A and B are shown apart, each in its own frame.
Chain A
Amino acid sequence: MSTDNTGVTAETVKKIARLSRLHVEPDRLAHLADEMNGLLAWIEQLGEVDVQGVEPMTSAVEMDAPLREDVITDGNVRDKVLYNAPKSEAGYFVVPRSVE
């Protein structure tokens, strides 16, 4: 995040909401933009810390990813997988049509 942040606009909020499939009433956009800018300004305080020569951290624990062997230990639980689906048929999830 650069420090010369030009700020979040109502337009940015609208775009993020669309990408996240969230419905936001138009009269809320400006307010949300203000709140996000507040959050970003707060985070910008981190810019005061001198991180010269410090490797960027990927996780909070100093360890590598645990790995598993390539063996089949799971699957064949279709009932559980489909249990919460609003609609299923013949073993498939059924959702509103996603193409025209």
Chain B
Amino acid sequence: MFTAERVADKKDWLSGRDHDWEIIIGLEIHAQVASNSKLFSGAPTAYGAEPNTQVSLVDAAMPGMLPVVNEFCIEQGVRTGLGLNAKINLFSRFDRKNYFYPDLPQGYQISQFEFPIVGEGEIEITPEDGEAVVVGIERLHLEQDAGKSIHDLSPNETYVDLNRSGVCLMEIVSKPDMRSPEEASAYVEKIRGIVRALGTCDGDMEKGNLRADVNVSVRKPGGELGTRCELKNINSMRFIRQAINYEARRQIDILEAGGEIDQETRLFDNAKGETRTMRSKEDAHDYRYFPDPDLLPIKITQAYVDGIKASLPELPDARKARFVSEYSIPEYDARILTADKAKGDFYERLAKGRDAKIAANWMMGDLFGALNKAGIELDDSPVNSDALGELLDLIGDKTISGKIAKGVFEKMLAGEGGANEIVERDGLKQVTDTGAIEKIVDEVIAANAEQAAKVADNPRLIGFFVGQVMKASGGKANPQAVNEILRKKLGG
């Protein structure tokens, strides 16, 4: 039975009429295994094919068909389990979960109930605005996906495409260890980072290759657990947070009005930003699980598990720790830069042989800011790591100042060319020639004689002169040289 000992951070409490409330959240993530063929048949799994073309007679549940397990799927289940620091079960078994739905041709889903391939584990998450939290993993099991029902092609009928039917999913079940919408989305982000680093699932949420069922209940902080509702199939971090916020408030309103929460499955309508009943309690399924007589148990050896363990790539947590020690960047930066593989790889290419802290700042500030604003993924960035590196090199060897570099970066984003090319074209090279700078300094002092006389008494005024000189040079004067010359002349 689930328990929920941790009490939410006070900042995450929701205010109520008589007392505050905390949210208790557990997640079931469905991650599609990145296999070529299905869990029990040789039909392909590629996205976007013509309806019912990627269906074998096994997937269509024709009588007499026999499922045969895809060994790659077993291996990915074990790999993912190891990535979740979880117990790998050397004995596991497939069971039938019985229910009727038009897109489930067998009349049951082959899943793992009593003996999942992966048992308990734990991972650490760090929500955007909070402390690190350890989230327990209850289990990971393998199961078949169902087909797809399409309801908008005809007013009175449902169209069914079985292409997804039989595709292998890993269902990763957490313990109810999350206490805020931010923790829930940080958890999904973390799982996504892990499966992507492992290569066991591509993590594409838009295509539904990674999606979450969110269990939400509310209670008086630290009090008795409330009745939970399950929010089905949410496929973006933002929707997960929205759905939890809406659902928690809905439950609080019911409880404060003296009502009771019905344990039910609800659907999140992302257009309206609300949840609504999908299946009520009366319809609650009794799945009548039993071992699938068509399939023999899966037995693996410790040597097999150890072999997979030895081949695991560096995972986000280990990479984060290495970034902190190897590049001497703050933990916060390291966490953001290792959130997914593409970011980490980009950073390592950028930081190699350069000032690692400046590289981190440029990536997290200027680059991510620009990409966010334009809604572009890092993989599609118009400025790649080599191009950004070229710009950082110009700052590094003092050809341009950091400030000028920002403008050059804007032009690079706009596709005006490489950093060297733009600096050359626009004549942006920093003036380090002291004679030239002295000339500008003299002009500025002459124009502000009154202020200049006061510098001796008020050394802070030197800042004003630095600003004026930089302005007069079009930002191209080397700020250090300007400072030195001004101090010499004004004695600040």
Q: What is the interface of chain A, defined by CB distance below 8 A to chain B?
A: 15, 19, 21, 58-59, 61, 63-78, 80-82, 87, 89-99
Contacts and interface: CB of A to CB of B under 8 A. Distances in A.
B158 A69 contact: no
Instruction: Bin the interface of chain B by size.
Output: 35 or more
B271 to A, nearest CB: 16
B156 A96 contact: yes
Task: Kindly list the 10 A-B residue pairs having the minimum CB-CB distance in the complex, ordered from nearest.
Answer: A73-B42, A70-B72, A75-B43, A67-B71, A74-B42, A74-B56, A92-B159, A65-B296, A93-B160, A91-B51
Contacts, number: 139
Contact of A72 (B43, B101, B154, B161): B43
A95 B157 contact: yes
B296 A72 contact: no
Contacts of B288: 19
A96 to B, nearest CB: 6
Contacts of A94: 154, 157-160
A90 B159 CA distance: 10
Contacts of B60: 81
A89 B52 CA distance: 11
A70 B71 contact: yes
A84 B285 CA distance: 29
Given A81-B52, A97-B151, A72 B36 contact: yes
A91 B153 CA distance: 13
Contacts of B149: 98-99
Contacts of A93: 52, 102, 159-162
A65 B52 contact: no
B44 interface: yes
Contacts of B35: 70
B54 interface: yes
A57 to B, nearest CB: 10
B43 A97 contact: no
Contacts of A92: 51-52, 150, 153, 159-161
B286 interface: yes
Interface string B52-87: 111111101000000011111110000000000000
Contacts of B43: 72, 74-75
Given A61-B296, A68-B71, A70-B36, A78 B286 contact: no
B100 interface: yes
A6 to B, nearest CB: 17
Interface residues of B, dominant DSSP: loop
Interface string B144-187: 00000111011111111110000000000000000000000000
Question: Residue among A69, A72, A82 with the most chain B CB within 10 A?
Answer: A72
Contacts of B70: 67-70
Given A75-B42, A75-B43, A96-B158, A64 B71 contact: no
Given A67-B70, A97-B157, 13 more contacts: A15-B286, A58-B291, A58-B296, A64-B296, A70-B35, A75-B55, A77-B57, A78-B51, A92-B150, A93-B159, A95-B158, A96-B156, A99-B151
Contacts of B445: none
Interface in B241-281: none
Nearest to B151: A99
A81 B43 CA distance: 12
Interface in B434-464: none
Contacts of B387: none
Contact of B100 (A21, A69, A74): A21
B42 A58 contact: no
A91 B52 contact: yes
Nearest to B45: A72
5 contacts: A66-B296, A74-B58, A75-B44, A91-B161, A96-B156
A77 B58 CA distance: 12
B297 interface: yes
Given A78-B52, A78-B53, A81-B55, A65 B160 contact: no
A59 B295 CA distance: 8
B293 interface: yes
B113 to A, nearest CB: 13
Given A67-B74, A91-B52, A58 B297 contact: yes
Nearest to A60: B293
B50 interface: yes
A72 B70 CA distance: 11
Nearest to B51: A91
Contacts of B299: 64-65
A77 to B, nearest CB: 7
Contacts of A59: 291, 293, 296-297
B63 to A, nearest CB: 10
Contacts of B56: 74-75, 77
Contacts of A97: 151, 154-158
